[in-house]
């Protein structure tokens, strides 16, 4: 996972674990992190971000619960196989919107900037 970077804004009202979870979920769902891609260890990502390992571990646990990543002893943490998309899933759309919004807020974007980015992406 050298190219897509995760960033945490410690001044944001969004908790750091949620910023990590949302950014990684967005990278996985958009294909920037593909099935089988290895994620950094909890300790390594925590060190890189200047956070406590427990913060990163919580984000990873939530990603595992959402079946986006899997951790195997000796094989590390990898992106899981995404289930095939079948039509328009409102729940998944809402999750993607929440993930995008959390990631955008972590970058310091306000509501109008976020709405503008979505409108631009739709055009």
- Coil, helix or strand at residue 53: helix
Q: What is the pLDDT of residue 75?
A: 86
Q: What is the pLDDT of residue 98?
A: 86
User: End-to-end CA distance of the chain, in Å?
Assistant: 30
Q: Mean pLDDT score of the chain, rounded to an integer? A: 89
Strands (E), 24-111: 69-72, 76-79
Distance CA 86, CA 83 (A): 9
According to DSSP, residue 52 is labeled -
Q: What is the pLDDT of residue 25?
A: 92
pLDDT by residue for the chain (123 residues), tens only, comes to 544 589 999 898 899 999 999 999 989 988 899 999 999 999 999 999 999 999 999 999 999 999 999 999 888 999 999 866 666 677 778 888 888 898 898 889 999 999 999 998 888
Q: What is the pLDDT of residue 3?
A: 44
What H or E segment, with its residue span, contains residue 78? strand 76-79
Q: What is the pLDDT of residue 22?
A: 92
């Amino acid at each position: 996972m050298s190219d897509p970077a995760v960033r945490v804004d410690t001044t944001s009202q969004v908790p750091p674990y949620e910023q990590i979870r949302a950014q990684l979920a967005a990278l996985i769902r958009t294909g920037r992190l593909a099935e089988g891609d290895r994620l950094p260890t909890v300790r390594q990502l925590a060190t890189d971000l200047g956070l406590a390992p427990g913060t990163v571990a919580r984000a990873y646990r939530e990603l595992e619960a959402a079946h986006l990543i899997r951790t195997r002893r000796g094989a590390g943490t990898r992106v899981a196989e995404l289930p095939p998309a079948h039509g328009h899933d409102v729940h998944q759309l809402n999750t993607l919107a929440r993930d995008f919004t959390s990631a955008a807020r972590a970058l310091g974007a306000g509501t109008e900037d976020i709405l503008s980015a979505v409108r631009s992406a739709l055009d």
